[in-house]
Amino acid sequence: MKSGDHATIDVPESSTAAKGEAPLIATPKEQKSGLKKGMGIFDFLLRLAAIIAALAAAATMGTSDETLPFFTQFFQFEASYDDLPTFMFFVIAMALVAGYLVLSLPCSIITIVRPRAVAPRLLLFILDIVALTLATAAAAAAAAIVYLAHTGNPNTNWLAICQQFGDFCQKVSGAVVASFVNVVVLMLLILLSGFALKKQ
């Protein structure tokens, strides 16, 4: 080896650089898309929970009926949801909310498959507000009647009937609780949709 010669060392190129593979760290755009997809999945699960709560409220109220074991020659003591227009409105309203939530599931699936789609999220946001308004009105009206059934109102001579119709009051009270669970879930859905739209 002569003094004028220079030694060269060949450094092999890494397989990652040679193949041109992308780095393992996700880009901000991919992270944003993953976040929206996660919110879409959470939206779908919340809608399933809201459907169960609305159906439970409507079914429980719709089957609330109790007849006392004693009666007179002219009267039979019976309590049923269809005796009160407020409870009938409650059943119809919760059935409509449950029907809407079932029909909204395809749009929720679209937000999972296409996380960047704005139109389905905006449509769900608007219709969820309408459903929340209807559910809140039905739940609040039924809660007022259930309160009177439990406590009565001496000032207006409204007697408490829950001491006599215990099973009926238990059912309608459970229906009201389920309806307020539905209201809370709908509020979460609206907040989630608003947050997702803000992140667009």
Cβ atoms of 111 and 68 within 8 Å: the answer is no
pLDDT one-digit tens code per residue, 32-80 = 667 778 888 999 999 999 999 999 999 999 888 766 665 555 566 677 7
- Region of residue 10 (phi > 0: left; psi between -120 and 50: alpha; otherwise: beta): beta
Which residue matches tokens 């439970």? 56
Across 9-18, average pLDDT:
49
Nearest residue to 108 via CA among 122, 120, 125: 120
Determine how many CB atoms are found less than 10 A away from the CB of residue 89. Answer: 15
Q: Which residues contact 66 (CB under 8 A, 6 or more apart)?
A: 78, 79, 80, 165, 166, 167, 168
pLDDT of residue 139: 96
pLDDT of residue 177: 96
pLDDT one-digit tens code per residue, 105-142 = 999 999 888 878 888 889 999 999 999 999 999 999 99
Cβ atoms of 147 and 103 within 8 Å: the answer is no
Three-state secondary structure call for residue 84? coil
Instruction: Give Cα 138 to chain centroid, integer Å.
Output: 16
pLDDT of residue 10: 54
pTM: 0.77
pLDDT of residue 173: 92
Average pLDDT, the chain: 81
Q: Which amino acid is at 147?
A: Y
* Separation between Cα atoms, residue 16 and residue 1, nearest integer Å: 36
